[in-house]
Structure 1
Amino acid sequence: MTSKIITAGYVVIGDEILSGRTKDKNIGFLASYLTDIGIDLSEVRVVPDLEEKIVEAVNALRAEYTYVFTSGGIGPTHDDITADAIAKAFGVSIDLDPRAYKLLEDHYGAENFTPARQRMARIPDGADLIENKVSIAPGFRIENVHVMAGVPAIMQAMVDAIAPTLETSQKMLSVTIEAALPESRIAQDLGEIQKNYPETSIGSYPQSKDGVFSTQVVVRSRSNDVLEQASEAVRAAVEAAKTKFL
């Protein structure tokens, strides 16, 4: 564990996500997973199956964040172009990787290891493989970019495989405060508390049930002491607002 903040960007790849045909399940999973191990997921981009869009997104995020994760587009079909796009982003060649080839050939058997399936053994030069315990076909890691499958069960298994290799920092702690008030009545106070406690992140989330408005306030910080102080300030502001508007 390091004292510095570890950040991540995530590129979700696939026309099917953008069209709505496939409902994304990976963003929420990755966000929660990284938060739990002390990595801040700072940005997510969803891009189509277009090489130039994938290259642009990956190059932008890998320069900005400690780690980049991608999912989608490393299967056996003609539109699975992620591996080629990553090779282009790094300016390296791509070809059948002997390690990946053997894994897949052993899994399918030589007679069933079709050219389409062999596509899944194409790995950019210099990349390390990411284990896939679900369906064998590996992902890969090149520098700070981790390239994984889009199928949720496979993607999640790959994240489990790479987690021990990731540098992490102190986890972000959080406290949730329920306020039986509309957001507008405490918004200014929350802004002031945020200024007074710059080591925190304060989010407010309005809710409505049966015509009654309320607000859920979430205070986050890596320091437990700061978290407690800021949370108490929020609770006091909520109570003051209740009294003010009685």
Structure 2
Amino acid sequence: MSEIITAAMIVIGDEILSGRTKDRNIGHLADVLTAIGIDLKEVRIVADEEAAIVEAVNAVRARYTYVFTTGGIGPTHDDITADSISAAFTVPCGYDDRAFAMLEAHYAARGMEFTEARRRMARMPQGATHIDNPISIAPGFVIGNVHVMAGVPAIFQAMLDNVVPTLKGGTKLLSGAVHCPHGEGTIGGPLGEIQKRHPDTIIGSYPKYQDGSFWTELVVRARDPEKLEAALAEVRAMVEGISAKA
């Protein structure tokens, strides 16, 4: 049987919800996970509020194989992700000795004071392990199936590169596309019937507008290449049949 590995993402930060910062991490994570056969099933965006973070983390970590969070592990007062993850796992949050030493040496080498604010970046839940940060040193961390990373896209991507080799990949989704010159109102009924006949596939329709005309891209996804091709054949036949009557 195909092994299905699933994931959820929690984006943490008032700046995302207010629109001051535009998220660039969701799409990157989705691309990376798809490439290694992990299905990103859910994304939540939550405020810098402990109760909201705890509720979201506990909800999704019980439901999916992996959870990835971004944001809220910096040096400011509203960077409360480490405390919130600790609360979700009901463990203490404190300074990690190795993270503290790394950051202390990093700032000393730059001739900068290792302030209380900067020390906050060395805090993580008891029992967590590091996610290395090759850009700005301050590590992310893993506890249980939850991977906690920075929100800055370049740092998030670098951390994720270090996480990927530790993940268990699943059977990858294969996909095929069919160009359809008809709108969803025309194809909706027969396309739904095709989906019913091919329950092991995922069939999506995506309206497009190009060069002054509307059309629909029909995408079929499946893990089994034979089931994928069978569904694609029906979709192509449906489009050809509708076109012939038009």
Q: If the length of structure 1 is used for normalisation, what is the TM-score? A: 0.96
Alignment correspondent of 1:128: 129
Deviations along 1:107-130, one digit per CA (max 9) or x if unpaired, are 111852111111000010000010
Q: What secondary structure is seen at the aligned counterpart in 2 of 1:177?
A: strand
Shift of 1:210: 5.2
Tell me the distance in 2 between the aligned counterparts of 1:87 and 1:39.
Answer: 26
Alignment correspondent of 1:226: 227
Tell me the distance in 2 between the aligned counterparts of 1:48 and 1:235.
Answer: 45
The within-5 A match list for 1:45-194 is 45-109=44-108, 112-194=113-195
Query: Which AA in structure 1 matches 2:22?
Result: K
Tell me the distance in 1 between the aligned counterparts of 2:101 and 2:173.
Answer: 41
Tell me the distance in 2 between the aligned counterparts of 1:215 and 1:74.
Answer: 42
Q: What secondary structure is seen at the aligned counterpart in 1 of 2:169?
A: coil
Deviations along 1:74-127, one digit per CA (max 9) or x if unpaired, are 000000000000000000001110011111112111852111111000010000
Tell me the distance in 2 between the aligned counterparts of 1:102 and 1:37.
Answer: 34
Query: Which AA in structure 2 matches 1:236?
Result: A
Query: Which AA in structure 1 matches 2:148?
Result: V
Q: What secondary structure is seen at the aligned counterpart in 2 of 1:77?
A: coil
Tell me the distance in 2 between the aligned counterparts of 1:113 and 1:141.
Answer: 24
Tell me the distance in 1 between the aligned counterparts of 2:143 and 2:245.
Answer: 57
Query: Which AA in structure 1 matches 2:213?
Result: V
Moved over 6 A (4+): none
The within-5 A match list for 1:37-48 is 37-48=36-47
Q: What secondary structure is seen at the aligned counterpart in 2 of 1:29?
A: helix
Tell me the distance in 2 between the aligned counterparts of 1:210 and 1:37.
Answer: 35
Deviations along 1:167-199, one digit per CA (max 9) or x if unpaired, are 111111111111111121111111111111111
Q: What secondary structure is seen at the aligned counterpart in 2 of 1:195?
A: helix
Are the aligned partners of 2:175 and 2:228 in contact in 1 as well (CA < 8 Å)? yes
Query: Which AA in structure 1 matches 2:158?
Result: A
The within-5 A match list for 1:26-41 is 26-41=25-40
Shift of 1:3: 3.6
Are the aligned partners of 2:201 and 2:228 in contact in 1 as well (CA < 8 Å)? yes
Residue identity over aligned pairs, in percent, reads 61
Tell me the distance in 2 between the aligned counterparts of 1:97 and 1:210.
Answer: 57
Shift of 1:240: 0.5
Are the aligned partners of 2:175 and 2:219 in contact in 1 as well (CA < 8 Å)? yes
Deviations along 1:204-236, one digit per CA (max 9) or x if unpaired, are 011223552210011000111111111111111
Q: What secondary structure is seen at the aligned counterpart in 1 of 2:51?
A: helix
Mind listing any 5+ residue stretches in structure 1 that lack a counterpart?
Answer: none
Are the aligned partners of 2:2 and 2:171 in contact in 1 as well (CA < 8 Å)? yes
Q: What secondary structure is seen at the aligned counterpart in 2 of 1:218?
A: strand
Alignment correspondent of 1:196: 197
Aligned length: 244
Q: If the length of structure 2 is used for normalisation, what is the TM-score? A: 0.96
Query: Which AA in structure 1 matches 2:47?
Result: P
Tell me the distance in 1 between the aligned counterparts of 2:107 and 2:177.
Answer: 50
**Alignment pair present for 1:4 and 2:3:** yes
Are the aligned partners of 2:2 and 2:223 in contact in 1 as well (CA < 8 Å)? no
> Cα RMSD between the aligned structures?
1.2
